[in-house]
Amino acid sequence: MEGKPLIAEPFGPLQGVRILSSGTLIAQPFAGELAAEMGAEVIQIERPEVGDAGWRTIGIRLETRDGGEIATNWVQERRNVFCVTLDLSQERGREIFLKLIPTCDIWMESSKPGTYAKWGITDEALWQINPKLVITHVSGFGQYGEPNYVTRASYDIVGQAFGGMMYQTGFPETPPSRAAPWTGDYITALFTMWSSLAALTHARAYGKGQAIDLAQYEAIHRTLGGTMVEYFQKGVVRERSGNRAQGFQPLDSFQTSDGFVVIGAIADVFNRLLRAIGFDEKDPRWQKARNDIESIEGIEFDAMLRGWVAERTTAEVVKHLNEFQVPCSPIMTSRDIAEDPHYRARQMHIEWEDLQAGPVKGIGVVPKFSHTPGKVWRGAPAIGHDNQRIYGELLGLSAGEIEALRRDRVI
């Protein structure tokens, strides 16, 4: 990272790392925001005047101090980030972009392949300016492959469908369902961040940057466990099974007298569950039931366990089974989570000052580091909030130059 530090009081394990982010919505920008919570300096490029119109407006919105509205997604997921506007379709915009590159360790973007190349912004051109630069390209279908796939547009639900997650999500009797809220995008963001940091580790050790080609569908597909081994080796296509596990029980959701819980009992834990509900663990019926779930014994056990659960409240089931070290949890709503003592004890929800909406409360920093903890030092900014900070203080442009750029809608 070159140039004057942007954060007055460095913190976290990623202090000294600067990331330039030019994607939109979730899959790539969320990776940058996670880094920002760990001390990295993240500069987010948005379109002049409109910004990241989708993520700033989609969903439930809060009123801002100036009488406008801002999406709760933006408030939660652009904390600590420096937001600038820049039109890369203009020559002057590209010149400014290239001036930013030497000051950064990582550039990450999300677009259809070829978008930046048509502006002359190629990986090779950027390495001429900054040989150590890590470049992370995030797209729906990758930078190469079948031509009619590579140019396709993609959203979270498309990635889940093409990546194989959606077919397995839901119940056998219902159509495939997406995993909510935007699971495919968030998975992609995590792959974006760890791969970028892996490449940065190499660049700092050997002095040479590299490009990462991250296809959203591949990140999603990578999380499917043994799905493809089962197909290639045995011809098995995994089907939807709802919340129920395949091949053993119980691992499912169960209705109590006042709500729902999930219960899991794998291997030896199954015997603890039998003791907890008053069943004889030596009874061969139940030992058969745990792995042969479609047998008469398996069906009987499932029905009896559901009956046992249905006669009790959620609190009673959770307390009793956890006393026997059987994994069990209520299915939590936002209200349940906000009132839960464990969330409170770990300070999972924090308050901060959003730069547009004022005081807000939401999800804190994850995970917790013992020596270099992350933090929220600033709320999510308005469109172009940091233009002066980045273009004036970091790049050294004069007030007149910045005003001219604004007048010409370059920023």
* DSSP count for the chain of H helices, then E strands: 19, 13
Strands ordered across the beta sheet of 260-264: 251-255, 260-264, 328-330
Distance CA 248, CA 254 (A): 16
φ/ψ of 360, rounded to 5, equals -140, 165
* Residue type, position 269, single letter: V
Distance CA 174, CA 286 (A): 30
Whole-number CA gyration radius for the chain: 25
Contact 71, 354 (CB under 8 A): no
For 338, the 3-state DSSP assignment is helix
* Residue type, position 321, single letter: L
Please give the helix or strand (H or E) that residue 160 lies within, else none: helix 156-163
Is the four-CA dihedral 190, 195, 373, 377 of positive or negative sign?
negative
Q: Among candidates 364, 253, 363, which has minimal Cα distance to 306? A: 253
Which residue of the set 105, 156, 185, 252 is catalytic?
185
φ/ψ of 281, rounded to 5, equals -70, -15
What would you measure as the largest C-alpha separation in the chain, in angstroms?
84
φ/ψ of 337, rounded to 5, equals -65, -45
3-state secondary structure 112-149: CCCCCHHHCCCHHHHHHHCCCCEEEEEECCCCCCCHHH
Asked if 354 is an active-site residue, the reply is no
Contact 33, 81 (CB under 8 A): yes
Contact 61, 102 (CB under 8 A): no
Q: Among candidates 139, 86, 85, 81, which has minimal Cα distance to 109? A: 139
Give, in order, the Cα–Cα distances in Å from 93 to each of 114, 125, 187, 397, 404: 18, 16, 31, 13, 12
Catalytic residue numbers?
185
